[in-house]
Structure 1
């Protein structure tokens, strides 16, 4: 049997002794979070997507929010202390984060960017986030996610 290839996110969780569960699914290309949740059986309301935005200062910020919701850029800018905020272009995801679209997670990006986790995550014992590659989802406690990513809870949807 082929050895499971660990992503940077998985290595960081293990190094920090953070318990997590890996859910895998068959997929060769980008699919949205709703389809990913359906494939893994993860509850939609506890499944989160990772989006990257750039503030007016040119700094990058990571927003982790429920898969069925959208970022309110005004609220996101306020949370980050920026005058304005815009989403990065899809083609820039890999150069900025080191991850591919559909496999992007706030855990173990190329650089440590400020991370904001939608405050509703506190309502769950476990949340589901990308595992760092297409076909991998990580289930972990929101407080552990906050610990390893140095995230702040905020309302930006």
Structure 2
């Protein structure tokens, strides 16, 4: 969220009490918002050791085959939770697409186009960011593709 403030990008932050549950569906229901407008940040790795970031609705699953096609790879797999901190600077349940340690190619499920704003982790469990896609594009370069099943 600090990065958004530094760049004067309008956003809304939402706080929820960390109850130990990190299900995105539980979080967005707690905030009384549409589960389809909340996105989880997933980090993957290809056979060639390239890392990719995917944002998918919390109510859906990443289709690894479609995701691989979206980044012109033959196959990708999810990185292990214990690798997240060193790759992104974030932990499982608090991984945000903005402010990562490194810049990775990012794909957002094209369902995001239907919403005025989307929700995603603020980088720490307990925080969600609400942001317009156009404003998100000012911070990270991403493509919109169908990547869910």
**What's the TM-score once normalised by structure 2's chain length?**
0.95
Tell me, yes or no, if structure 1 residue 88 matches structure 2 residue 79: yes
CA–CA distance in structure 1, aligned partners of residues 21 and 73 of structure 2: 30
For residues 52-83 of structure 1, what are the alpha-carbon distances to aligned partners after superposition, in whole Å with 9 as ceiling and x for unaligned?
Answer: 00012101000001001111111111111111
- Per the alignment, residue 146 of structure 2 pairs with 155
Moved over 6 A (4+): none
CA–CA distance in structure 1, aligned partners of residues 20 and 104 of structure 2: 26
**Structure 1: tracts of 5 or more residues without a match:** 1-9
Report matched runs for 1:61-80 at 5 Å.
61-80=52-71
- Per the alignment, residue 114 of structure 1 pairs with 105
Tell me, yes or no, if structure 1 residue 39 matches structure 2 residue 30: yes
Aligned pairs, how many? 148
Between structures 1 and 2, the one with greater helix share: 1
- Per the alignment, residue 143 of structure 1 pairs with 134
**What's the TM-score once normalised by structure 1's chain length?**
0.90
CA–CA distance in structure 2, aligned partners of residues 103 and 89 of structure 1: 14
Structure 1 range deviating more: 146-155 or 58-67: 146-155
**Structure 2: tracts of 5 or more residues without a match:** none
- Per the alignment, residue 48 of structure 1 pairs with 39
